[in-house]
Amino acid sequence: MAIQTVRQRTALAPRREPYWHAIDKGQHVGFRRTEDGGHWIARSYDSATRARQYRALGDLTGYPDAERFTVAKRLASEFFDHLGKGGRRESLTVADAWRRYVEHQRKTKGATAAADVEGRLKRHIDGDPIAGVLLEKLTSRHLKEWRERIASQPAMQPKRGPNCRTKTPPKPPEPRSAGSVNRDMVPMRAALNLALSDGFVTSDHAWRKALKPTANADGRRTLYLDRDQRRALIEHLPEDAAAFVRGLCLLPLRPGALASLTVGDFHAKQGTLRIGTDKAGAGRYVLLPDATAALFRESVKGKLPTAPLLSRWNGSAWDKDAWKVPIKAAVAAAELPAETTAYTMRHSVITDLVTDGLDLFTVAALAATSIAMIEKYYGHLQQERAREALAGLVL
């Protein structure tokens, strides 16, 4: 029975089995007639495996009656093309892809990494128009508009719990930085790339350019504090925050990695530290110099193995919302550059390691990052040292 025209479809008897129209060999678009209208279906048949694959196309009531066959045929052809490129039959929305990535992180990186992605999912995907877009329908326009929406959101404010000791009133919301937007795009790219590798889409064309990070957006890597400035910062911090920042000044760790360390991660006799949670390089061991080991030996006295290695005054672990306020106040009191953050310590320490002559491979291993990233941001420091060494060759 023909299904191309409205008159032909109206004359069909309602039944469960669709009425099929052949598009090509092994490819059909079907119309299931119901009492109150009908639904469209695509069906693919593989003669080699004798497997049939179906996709529901919906009732297409958003289109005029006379155009629905043409639309259904186009949607069916897109499905067949997707299968022909090795794609999977199931459809995923953008939100589905994120949730799959959250579980992937949970299995491969642990609960902390999964929680970070899940938090960004709740802030930037759930409730956003892009959440319900099917991956095979995703375009660069969708992603560019989503990027503009998250860029227009105000920066997150530090959380103040009931035990917060600061009396400083919260500041008005500030615009988000390009670096912050870059970090929120990382899980979006990762979630879409995971869906690509698993066959839910067959091309990364939609996000390859639309989610390209803004170059040189993270200004924190350009701010360097010398040792005197770091000492001044520590002197103006409360005792608990001073110990935490001192740890950042002694090791090239990300603040979150240092905050996640427990007493059990420190081996006092051997003077070694196990980095169990980090953006990269988790599970590595660092042999500590005597002064750093002494700091940690003092910190672990009377604590259980599961307690934070460097804890807050109330015994809880540090997090980004806890360290922002005291560091900001100390920066102002010490008259340091206003853009100084906890991450500035990491950049300053890595800078010192490179300028003091430590090879880039070892610096990258200590900092849990790639040699390429160290070369990108710190390679020029070695070039300056090389020029000085060459100058010493002048006769």
CATH fold of the domain at 6-84 = Double Stranded RNA Binding Domain (3.30.160)
φ and ψ at residue 11, rounded to 5 degrees: -80, -10
| Better-predicted residue by pLDDT, 245 or 392 | 245
Count of H helices and E strands in the chain?
A: 15, 7
| Better-predicted residue by pLDDT, 358 or 385 | 358
Selecting from 1.10.10, 3.40.50, 1.10.150, 3.15.10, what CATH number does the domain 94-161+174-217 have?
A: 1.10.150
Query: pLDDT for 106-116, tens place per residue?
Result: 888 778 778 88
Tell how far CA 29 is from the center of its chain.
39
Dist CA 75 CA 81 (whole Å): 10
The pLDDT score that the predictor gives to residue 220 is: 46
In whole numbers, what is the pLDDT of the chain averaged over residues?
A: 86
User: Domain boundaries in the chain?
Assistant: 6-84, 94-161+174-217, 220-391
DSSP string, 237-305: S-HHHHHHHHHHHHS---HHHHHT-BGGGEETTTTEEEE-S-SS-TTEEEEPPHHHHHHHHHHTTT--T
pTM exceeds cut of 0.75: no
Question: Residue 280 above 70 pLDDT?
Answer: no
Query: pLDDT for 160-182, tens place per residue?
Result: 555 555 555 555 666 778 888 88
Query: pLDDT for 1-43, tens place per residue?
Result: 899 999 999 999 999 899 999 998 999 999 999 998 999 998 9
At what angle are helices 111-124 and 178-197 packed, to 10 degrees? Answer: 110
Dist CA 108 CA 395 (whole Å): 57
Query: pLDDT for 45-104, tens place per residue?
Result: 888 778 888 888 888 988 899 999 999 999 888 888 877 777 666 778 999 999 999 999
Which residues in the chain belong to E strands, given as ranges? 19-24, 27-34, 37-46, 51-58, 266-267, 272-275, 284-287
Provide the Cα torsion 271, 276, 279, 281; round to 10°. Answer: 60
Short-list 318, 324, 352, 322, CA closest to 339: 324
Question: Is CATH 1.10.443.10 correct for 220-391?
Answer: yes
